Amino acid sequence: MTAEITTKKSRDSKPIWFIRKGELDTAGLESGMLAWAKANGFEGQAGRVLTIAGDNGEIAGALFGLGKDENRLAAGKLATTLPDGAWHIAGAINEPDLAALGFLLGGYKFTRYTKKDKTSISLALPEGADKADVKRLAKAVTLARDLINTPTNDMGPEALEAAVQEVADEHKASVNVIKGGALKKNFPMIHAVGRAGSEEPRLIDLQWGKKNAPKVTLVGKGVCFDTGGLDIKPASSMLLMKKDMGGAANVLALAQLIMEAKLPVRLRLLIPAVENSIAANAFRPSDVLTSRKGLTVEIGNTDAEGRLVLADALALADEEEPELLIDMATLTGAARVALGPDLPPFYSNDDAFASEVAASATAVSDPVWRMPLWAPYDAKLSSRVADMNNVTTDGFAGSITAALFLQRFVSKAKIWAHFDIFGWNPVEKPHSPIGGEAQAIRTLYHLLKQRYPAN
């Protein structure tokens, strides 16, 4: 399906009335429409669409139910339930930007390996909505979804590098890549995790913006497939491991948003891209790795590889003392046990920034939840033979201890935040089909626009 937002209402555009449950009689409908709605049992039920026939039997419009507790992206349902053609929203609505964005996101389909859907539907830009920003956000979410949905045979480290380069070329950003044996000296943990993969591990480094602008650095976990390594996952746990580069996909999409909006920042994007595979040269349980920062790490489990590659990238990012350092990763199953797939936890060393994140998440309906960097748990990462272990032994508080592990590699950045995202939507929603998902990037984009308004 092709869902589009048009600037103006066309002559043949048909109206859609948004109706809250229980407010049908006060919605200002003509008597014939009202009678039709009641005859069909339409009461404004959430997500229900009822088409209205005109005098000649043609479709003349539609009613859309919002329910009692309005889903602010509910308009995504319209993209998959309305007949083809041009539509517009009748009257003014609350949060027109979210309605328009929901419509575009709801029309998303991953069609790389299937026949293209030839159906087409358009919605006139709701009054008060910012078309440029809505389309920018939809483009970024689509990028993240497409990258995550693509299987590893077509989205390994090489393809992920190419995706970064494509975004960089569009915005005249520079890209530097260190890969293979060249990683050994300065990025030994990235090399160790990825050396058994069929494609060389690499650190992808994109930079954009004026050098004297505030430094904003994004780091994303780019594990293009995770077998678990020698601590191999069961088959059922590998089925979604193409999405283990979801952190990289999301920070790349956020970087695209920043560059397209021309925010006045010095942007740096770092993606350690690897496969955690099994081969004779795979890293092993009980190995001790020396990180870029100089800290030694005992490997308690090779399936806790994401934090290793992130640690080397974070150490590099931290050396520049950025004003803001954000990392995103599909890091722990513990985060999903704690908060489920739809509510990513985040951690920050700055209370004021965390409050900004929470406010932005509410403003744009892109939920996140702050979790504590609980210092007493840091001791659980101790090792008898190295500075630290990459896992704990008791299995408790896995998302928190993973964040504490990463925190050890950040000391100079003014503000640091870690987002432990799922990167996947397991249940269809009005604005999102089952599959790869962008999480927290709309929140962060909203925050960055407020912190660094475009000139």
Give me the CATH number covering residue 165: 3.40.630.10
pLDDT of residue 352: 98
Both 103 and 144 in one domain: the answer is: no
Both 171 and 97 in one domain: the answer is: no
Tell me the average pLDDT across 239-268. 98
Q: Do residues 271 and 251 touch, judged by C-beta distance below 8 A?
A: yes
Q: By mean pLDDT, which of 2-6, 94-98, 129-133, 337-341 is the weakest? A: 2-6
Both 261 and 389 in one domain: the answer is: yes
Q: Do residues 246 and 421 touch, judged by C-beta distance below 8 A?
A: yes
Other C-beta atoms lying within 10 Å of the C-beta of residue 21? 17
* Domain, as residue range, for 223: 135-451
Both 114 and 202 in one domain: the answer is: no
Residue ending a domain, among 114, 129, 144, is: 129
Both 20 and 77 in one domain: the answer is: yes
| Residue 298: exposure state from Cβ atoms within 10 A (0-12, 13-18, ≥19) | buried
- Total domain count, the chain: 2
pLDDT of residue 380: 98
Active-site annotation holder among 48, 307, 380, 429: 307
135 in catalytic set: no
The token pair at 98 is 């979210």
Q: What percent of the chain has pLDDT over 90?
A: 93
Average model confidence (pLDDT) for the chain?
96
Tell me the average pLDDT across 324-346. 98
pLDDT of residue 56: 83
Secondary structure of the chain in HEC code, one letter for each residue:
CEEEEECCCCCCCEEEEEEECCCHHHCCCCHHHHHHHHHCCCCCCCCCEEEEECCCCCEEEEEEEEECCCCCCHHHHHHHHCCCEEEEECCCCCCHHHHHHHHHHHCCCCCCCCCCCCCEEEEECCCCCCHHHHHHHHHHHHHHHHHHHCCCCCCCHHHHHHHHHHHHHHHCCEEEEEEHHHHCCCCHHHHHHHCCCCCCCEEEEEEECCCCCCEEEEEECEEEEECCCCCCCCHHHHCCHHHHHHHHHHHHHHHHHHHHCCCCCEEEEEEEEEEECCCCCCCCCCCEEECCCCCEEECCCCCCCHHHHHHHHHHHHHHCCCCEEEEEECCCHHHHHHHCCCCCEEEECCHHHHHHHHHHHHHHCCCCEECCCCHHHHHHHCCCCCCEECCCCCCCCHHHHHHHHHHCCCCCCCEEEEEECCCEECCCECCECCEECCCCHHHHHHHHHHHCCCC
Both 46 and 183 in one domain: the answer is: no
Residue ending a domain, among 129, 144, 161, is: 129
Cα 182 to Cα 147, 270, 313, 343, distances in angstroms:
26, 16, 15, 38
What is the C-alpha separation between 281 and 50, in angstroms, rounded? Answer: 60
Tell me the average pLDDT across 426-439. 97
pLDDT of residue 55: 81
Q: Do residues 184 and 202 touch, judged by C-beta distance below 8 A?
A: no
Tell me the average pLDDT across 238-263. 98
Both 229 and 320 in one domain: the answer is: yes
Active-site annotation holder among 20, 139, 233, 370: 233
Q: Provide the pLDDT confidence category of residue 334 given band limits of 50, 70 and 90.
A: very high
Residue ending a domain, among 109, 129, 149, is: 129
126-153 b/e (C-beta count within 10 Å ≥ 16 → b): beebeeebbbbbbebbbbbbbbbbbebe
Both 188 and 97 in one domain: the answer is: no
Q: Do residues 260 and 135 touch, judged by C-beta distance below 8 A?
A: no
Both 295 and 325 in one domain: the answer is: yes
233 in catalytic set: yes
Q: Provide the pLDDT confidence category of residue 286 given band limits of 50, 70 and 90.
A: very high
Asked if the model's pLDDT at residue 1 lies above 60, the reply is no
What is the C-alpha separation between 215 and 56, in angstroms, rounded? Answer: 61
Both 149 and 106 in one domain: the answer is: no
Q: By mean pLDDT, which of 25-34, 180-189, 195-204 is the weakest? A: 25-34
- Identify residue 367 by its one-letter amino acid code: P
Q: Do residues 405 and 119 touch, judged by C-beta distance below 8 A?
A: no
Can you give the CATH number for the domain in which 6 is found?
Answer: 3.40.220.10
Both 194 and 88 in one domain: the answer is: no
| Residue 113: exposure state from Cβ atoms within 10 A (0-12, 13-18, ≥19) | exposed
The β-bridge relationship of strands 120-124 and 174-179 is unpaired
Both 40 and 187 in one domain: the answer is: no
